[in-house]
Structures are given as C-alpha cells and as structure tokens.
Structure 1
Amino acid sequence: MITNLRIGLIVIALVVVTLVLLPFQLAGLAFDLKIRRYVPRYWHRAACFLLGIRIHVHGRLETRRPLMLASNHVSWKDILVLGAVADVIFIAKAEVAGWPIFGTLAKLQKCIFVVREDKRGTGKQVNEIAARMTAGEIVVLFPEGTTSDGNRLMEVKSSLFGAAAAAAPETPEGIVHVQPVAIAYTRVHGMAMGRFHRPIAAWPGDVELAPHLLGVMREGAIDVDVAFGDAIEFRAGDNRKHLSQAVTSRLRRMLIKHLRGRDYDGMTAD
C-alpha cells in the first residue's frame, strides 16, 4: 500500500513539474530561444530527486567548445543523470521518438534522432549534429551504441564519432573537444550495489520499459557517480579510431575506479 502510494505521489509530482516547465520549453522551441537548453536541466533534477537518484559529480565539465560528451550507457536513467548536471542534448536512435512518454520528452528536449541503418541519410544526420555543436550546444554520444549491465564497458564504435569529424573543420580552430564521462551506479539504500540490485541500475534491451520504471520507483535511494575525464582535442583530419581508443581507455579506467572504489569525495549535484 505504502509502495503504491509512493509511486502515485511520484507520478503526480512529475506531472506537476512538467506542466509548470512545459510552457517555457514550448516557447523556447517555437522561437529557438536559448532557454530551451536550460529548462530540461530543471526537469531532470526534479525527476532525479523524486526517484531518489542521488548524483555525485567527480571532475568538471569541459568549458571549451564545441564539446561532445562520450559516455558509457547503462539505462534510461543516464539521460536523467546527465541532463541534471549539464545543459545537454542527446543523440538517440530513431525508435526512441516513438516511445510513450520518453519519446515526447526527447522531442521536447530537441534530441537528435538518427537512423543507423539509413546509409543515405547518414551525412545529413552527422551534419545536424555538427551544426548543433558548432552553435555551442553540448552533444552527448553513447558510443557503445547500446546499454550494458553497468559493470563493464562494451565495445566503443569508432563510426559513431563521425559527427566530431564533421564538426571539426567547421570550427574556428578546427578542433572538437571530446570529453569522456563515466556513469557508475554504486549504491542502493546506502549499501554497496551487488548483483541482486544491479537490474535496478541497468536496463538491458530485452526488458520492457514500464516494469523497469516501476521497479525504480518502488526502490528509490540509488547513488550514482558521474566522473568527467580530461577532454581530448580532436582536430580536423585526425583518425576516428585513435579517438575511439583514447575514449575507451579513459572510460574503462574511470568506470572501474568508481565501481570498485566507490569514492564519494565528489560533490553532490543540487
């Protein structure tokens, strides 16, 4: 009974927050105002607070632009977490646009939807990503191309860094800054997260969204580390495979550190 009441209160609170912020975001989208970049951060912060996701930030967001964040991918919660700590936009697979609730939210945030199988449209998609970065927006890429179990980094696909390669020649200095970001879900109810609770953090593709979302709302009290690594300068003409290798090395090192060390010397997002 108490659990159902908790879920009901979370849903009601999220609806209220959405209705309050929606007019500002719609106005920002309609007139292409910069406010559209900031409003989603407040929604994501509210969502994390209501769901009991406590964020611990390590390192700093790169201040130079253009900037692409390359992050490991564990769950849909990664969107909330990264969106709560920075004003970002996401690169998402096209089918996300059709998801209930999450698809609508992604459109309101002006995410970039890509069709990976559409070879003819690849150039157009890459150019859009490059244009958004050169305009000063921070683009988040999940270079694994899928979600993992949260305990390891899957293969990083160098082809997904095509947007960085396309954006570099368009910048004044011919550089795109690519910053690795490791997301590690470490604790639940203050206890180290073992294999039993790992399904709460991770969201494999074969698990339906609705039951997983309800499970997160029932549990609450999840701690997550967000570690910003040193940015890599990717210059026009540089090799994407070398970039992919450098990102992989740094992401894996940071992920292992925070999963094993569970170091809480970072600041908490507020």
Structure 2
Amino acid sequence: MAGALRAPIMAAMSGRGITTSLPKRGLRLARTALHLLHGLWTVAAHFPFYSLPRRRAAVRGWSARLLRILGVQLHAVGDAPDGDGGPVMLVANHVSWLDIFVINAVLPVRFVAKSEIRSWPAIGWLSAKTGTLFIERARRGDAARISREIADAMTRGDVVAVFPEGTTTDGSQVLRFHGALLQPALIAGASVHPVALRFERGDGSLCAEAAYDGDKSLLQSVLAIVAQPDLHARLWFLPALPPDAAHRRELAAAARQLIADRLRP
C-alpha cells in the first residue's frame, strides 16, 4: 500500500504530469503578448538609431526577459565566444523555437533559419529585422547564396548560429549533422563552437513538452511551454573546433559528436 502511494507522490515532487494553473498560464500568455509588442515597437522605432553594441544588448535583454516571462530558468555553462578574435560559427542541436532565445539571452547572434519562419506572425518580422539569414530550402542553388552570406557575415564580425540537424527533435537524441551549413566556416576560416541544448524539469529529467517537433503547431508549442511549472534550459558552450578539417562532413561529424557526448545521460 505504501509503495502504491509513493509513486504518485514522487511524480508530483518531480513535476511530471503537473502543470501550472489556468490563471498562471493566462498571465504568462498575456505578458508574452505584451513583451512581443514591446519588441516590435523597439525594433521598428529605435533599432534604426541604435549602434550595433546597443542592438545586441537589446536583443540579449529582450530574450532573457522572454524566458523569465515564460517561466524558463536559464543555466549556461562554458565561455561564450565573440567575433573579436576572428570569424565564429555556433553549431547547436535543435529542440524548439525557444533555442533562439536561449542562445540570444547569453550571446546575441545571427541565426540561419528556414524561410517559412519569415511568415510567422510577429516573430517572422522580428527575426528578419534582427538579422536572421533565411534559406529557401525548396530552391535549388540557394545553398550557394546563403553560404556566401554566412561567410560574409562572419568575416564582418557577426557570430552566426546554425542548426545542422535541419529539423527539431524531442531532445532525447542528436540527429546527423548536414555539412552544407558548415561550409561557410571553411570559407571564412571560422572557428566552430559546438553548443549543446537541453530542456529539463526541476529534477533533471528531460522535458519533451518543451520540444517543437512532430506535427505540433506553434500555438500548441507555446501552450505546452506556459503550462510547465518548473522548466529549465541548459546551454553548454563546448570546446571550439579549428577550421582545418579536410571536408565539411568531418567538421559536422566532430561537432555532432561533442554535442551528443555532452547530452548523453
């Protein structure tokens, strides 16, 4: 009898199956909407007059506040690079649309994203105005264009982040990395910094509800996230890989291995 009672009690303590109250979810959604409007206003009215350092500071602060509003506790480990020491590329596993804000809350970067994101309400416009580089995956030959743009951006001092899996997962695995997105690192002579991302509950277990995968819509994903009572985002900046690989596939495989090793239970 005691054993039968212990299981649900332990589940409740770990947060599994437990969600926030409806009023708290509503408050998080309302505050998120207001924060999004504030971001739109800031980018439209102030970004044209901001210096680059001030833009980056604004992106970092806005992203960190968004995570707090959504109830996401951020934990970053390791030294985040910058573009002052030469061209830099971040290479990360991909779990959720939250990944962008988790990284930006620590180090504002320019992301490479699928062109479909440009059509997302508000978020698409914000992404475009804050420097996201969009790739048309359905267009043959677009890889060459985006490769040049990424290399040029890194050469100018921007840190560029890519998700070489090409899709999201529930966070329990790291898929094969496609080497094409790492080609610009070889072109620009950029150091490649693997970044491992994981969303957890308070007890350290994987929180698959934070993932934006499968057939889940953006709205469903947002609702799942605001329902989490104790969501943690863990971000590891791993040792850099020099841009001296013989081929982009070797560089992609090495980056993936470092990330997979870090995330392995």
TM-score class, shorter-chain normalisation, is 0.7 to 0.9
Residues 16 and 101 of structure 1: CA distance in aligned 2, closer, same or farther (over 3 Å): closer
For residues 201-242 of structure 1, give each alpha carbon's deviation from its aligned partner in whole angstroms, at most 9, with x where no partner exists: 21114111112112212325311110011001113x731111
What TM-score does the superposition give when structure 2 sets the normalisation length? 0.83
Residues 117 and 54 of structure 1: CA distance in aligned 2, closer, same or farther (over 3 Å): same
**Runs of at least 5 residues in structure 2 that lack an aligned partner in the other structure:** 1-21
Q: What is the match of residue 108 of structure 2? A: 87
Q: Which range moved further: 112-121 or 92-101?
A: 112-121
Kindly, what percent of the aligned residue pairs are identical? 29
Contact 1:25–1:39 (CA under 8 A) maintained in structure 2:
no
Which residue, out of 143, 148, 156, partners 1:122? 143
Q: What is the match of residue 76 of structure 2? A: 57
CA shift at 1:62, angstroms? 2.7
Q: What is the match of residue 243 of structure 1? A: 251
What TM-score does the superposition give when structure 1 sets the normalisation length? 0.82
Give the secondary-structure state (helix, strand or coil) at the position aligned to 2:150: helix
Residues 4 and 67 of structure 1: CA distance in aligned 2, closer, same or farther (over 3 Å): closer
1:6 aligns with 2:34: no
Contact 2:29–2:226 (CA under 8 A) maintained in structure 1:
no
CA shift at 1:142, angstroms? 0.3
Greater strand proportion: 1
Once residues 8 and 34 of structure 1 are traced to their aligned partners in structure 2, the CA distance between those partners, rounded to angstroms, is 30
Residues 161 and 37 of structure 1: CA distance in aligned 2, closer, same or farther (over 3 Å): same
Contact 1:127–1:167 (CA under 8 A) maintained in structure 2:
no
Contact 2:170–2:213 (CA under 8 A) maintained in structure 1:
yes
Q: What is the match of residue 173 of structure 1? A: none
Alignment of 1:218-233 (within 5 A): 218-233=227-242
**Runs of at least 5 residues in structure 1 that lack an aligned partner in the other structure:** 169-175, 261-270
Residues 5 and 89 of structure 1: CA distance in aligned 2, closer, same or farther (over 3 Å): same
CA shift at 1:34, angstroms? 4.6
Q: Which range moved further: 102-111 or 139-148?
A: 102-111
CA shift at 1:164, angstroms? 1.3
Residues 59 and 33 of structure 1: CA distance in aligned 2, closer, same or farther (over 3 Å): closer
For residues 123-161 of structure 1, give each alpha carbon's deviation from its aligned partner in whole angstroms, at most 9, with x where no partner exists: 221111111101111100101010011011011111221
Give the secondary-structure state (helix, strand or coil) at the position aligned to 1:140: strand
Once residues 187 and 137 of structure 2 are traced to their aligned partners in structure 1, the CA distance between those partners, rounded to angstroms, is 16
Alignment of 1:189-204 (within 5 A): 190-193=202-205, 197-198=207-208, 200-204=209-213
CA shift at 1:21, angstroms? 3.1
Residues 4 and 82 of structure 1: CA distance in aligned 2, closer, same or farther (over 3 Å): closer
1:252 aligns with 2:260: yes
Alignment of 1:101-180 (within 5 A): 101-168=122-189, 176-180=190-194
CA shift at 1:74, angstroms? 0.3
Once residues 232 and 102 of structure 2 are traced to their aligned partners in structure 1, the CA distance between those partners, rounded to angstroms, is 11
Contact 1:24–1:35 (CA under 8 A) maintained in structure 2:
no
Once residues 35 and 156 of structure 1 are traced to their aligned partners in structure 2, the CA distance between those partners, rounded to angstroms, is 33
For residues 38-82 of structure 1, give each alpha carbon's deviation from its aligned partner in whole angstroms, at most 9, with x where no partner exists: 321111011011111111111111353210000000000101100
Contact 2:80–2:106 (CA under 8 A) maintained in structure 1:
no
CA shift at 1:20, angstroms? 6.1
- Number of residue-to-residue matches in the alignment: 241
Contact 1:44–1:81 (CA under 8 A) maintained in structure 2:
yes
For residues 73-126 of structure 1, give each alpha carbon's deviation from its aligned partner in whole angstroms, at most 9, with x where no partner exists: 000010110010102110001111111122112112110001123233322211
